[in-house]
């Protein structure tokens, strides 16, 4: 009888244990270039400061991706709760496969993180000087290539007037620049701050372009229907992290530096640079979750012109603002 009671108690404990796991509903999210790109920094703070736990969320980890469409594929295949991704891969997935995705927030309003740099003794000083020169970008159809196309157009030049060179990683672009393989390198934070003593900034994206959407938050219809509170909690945790970073850059830098394997002082410089400079139309780099339609239209239009999007897709019909706090809901018409 004692043995039977013991077995029953073990079985009951197992049932309660499983019930507890299901009740807590562990979550994972995927973030493009987490651990290397500045868009991922608030997610580090959200984890370290317990902002997810404050929303009764058990976020067990953040999955980094290589950017592009990889985080969208992870979201669809893995039934993950949320992805932080560039808008164009989301629209491409929707257009190509009819993926049932919902855009629920915007995390980066601008491309403030991008800087065009030259060697200190370069004769290039103005946009007119770009004619006949070569400029780097990372990979075909990337945001860096799109920005280069926009720069050439703003300079009043034809695309054939400038040679665009794919160098892959930003480190390779720096090497090419130092060895006269290219004339101008387009890099992003934190690469610029890490190397700014060796190069001269030519143009900051924030100074020559209004807001251009950097990343948005997306979920699947299934998660939106089954776990709406999880989506609301993730958005609020990101908002709190952005607000904390602005108020406490030094403490934030200490947390981020551990994940990004960087010097905390450099991270603090990057945070300050991003937080202190808005675009010409007054938009900050980090969004609290609200959508800025002009910036989202801008990346779509630029992607169409560059060929990253083959057909225009109306992103507005895939937006669901019901997960945002009322003060962050915008008229997106």
What tokens appear for 239 in the block?
């908002």
**Residue among 71, 50, 63, 59 at smallest CA distance from 230:** 59
CB 91, CB 68: distance < 8 Å: no
Q: Cα torsion at 86, 90, 93, 94 (round to 10°)?
A: -160
Percent of the chain residues topping a pLDDT of 70: 87
Write down the pLDDT at residue 65: 59
What tokens appear for 93 in the block?
């997935």
Write down the pLDDT at residue 22: 35
More confident residue, 325 or 100: 325
Backbone φ and ψ for 215, nearest 5 degrees, come out as -145, 155
The strand pairing partners of 82, in sequence order, are 29
Distances (CA, A) of 36 to 23, 32, 40, 261, 263: 33, 9, 8, 9, 13
Q: Residues 174-219: pLDDT tens digits? A: 999 999 999 999 999 999 999 999 999 999 999 999 999 999 999 9
What is the SS3 assignment for 57? coil
CB 89, CB 215: distance < 8 Å: no
Q: Residues 125-140: pLDDT tens digits? A: 999 999 999 999 988 8
Q: Residues 9-30: pLDDT tens digits? A: 333 233 223 333 333 467 778 8
Write down the pLDDT at residue 168: 85
Sequence-ordered list of residues with C-beta below 8 angstroms from that of 248, at least 6 positions apart, any chain: none
- The H or E element that residue 116 is part of is strand 114-118
**48 vs 124: CA distance, rounded Å:** 44
Sequence-ordered list of residues with C-beta below 8 angstroms from that of 180, at least 6 positions apart, any chain: none
Does the pLDDT of residue 267 top 80, yes or no? yes
| Predicted TM-score of the model (pTM) | 0.85
What is the average per-residue pLDDT within 74-78? 58
Distances (CA, A) of 92 to 31, 39, 322: 18, 21, 23
Does the pLDDT of residue 333 top 50, yes or no? yes
What is the average per-residue pLDDT within 222-230? 91
Distances (CA, A) of 199 to 76, 115, 179, 185, 194: 41, 11, 13, 10, 11
């Amino acid at each position: 009888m004692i043995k039977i009671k013991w077995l029953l108690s073990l079985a009951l404990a197992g049932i309660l244990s499983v019930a507890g796991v299901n009740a807590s509903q562990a979550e994972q999210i995927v973030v493009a270039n987490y651990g290397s790109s500045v868009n991922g920094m608030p997610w580090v703070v959200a984890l370290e400061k317990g902002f997810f736990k404050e929303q009764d969320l058990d976020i067990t980890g953040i999955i980094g991706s290589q950017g592009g469409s990889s985080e969208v594929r992870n979201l669809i295949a893995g039934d993950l709760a949320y992805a932080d991704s560039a808008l164009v891969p989301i629209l491409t997935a929707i257009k190509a496969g009819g993926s049932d995705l919902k855009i629920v927030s915007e995390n980066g309003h601008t491309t403030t993180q991008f800087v065009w740099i030259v060697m200190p003794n370069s004769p290039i000083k103005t946009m007119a000087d770009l004619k006949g020169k070569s400029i780097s970008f990372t990979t075909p159809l990337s945001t860096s290539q799109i920005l280069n196309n926009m720069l050439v157009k703003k300079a009043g030049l034809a695309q054939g007037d400038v040679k665009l060179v794919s160098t892959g990683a930003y480190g390779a672009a720096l090497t090419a620049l130092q060895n006269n393989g290219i004339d101008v390198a387009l890099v992003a934070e934190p690469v610029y701050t890490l190397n700014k003593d060796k190069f001269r900034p030519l143009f900051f994206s924030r100074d020559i372009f209004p807001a251009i959407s950097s990343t948005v938050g997306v979920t699947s219809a299934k998660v939106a229907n089954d776990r709406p509170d999880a989506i609301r909690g993730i958005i609020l945790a990101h908002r709190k992290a952005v607000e904390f970073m602005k108020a406490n850059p030094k403490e934030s830098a200490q947390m981020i530096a551990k994940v990004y394997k960087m010097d905390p002082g450099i991270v603090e410089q990057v945070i300050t640079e991003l937080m202190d400079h808005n675009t010409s139309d007054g938009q900050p780099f980090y969004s609290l979750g609200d959508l800025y339609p002009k910036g989202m239209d801008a990346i779509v239009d630029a992607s169409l012109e560059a060929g990253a999007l083959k057909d225009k897709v109306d992103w507005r019909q895939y937006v669901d603002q019901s997960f945002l706090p009322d003060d962050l809901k915008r008229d997106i018409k």
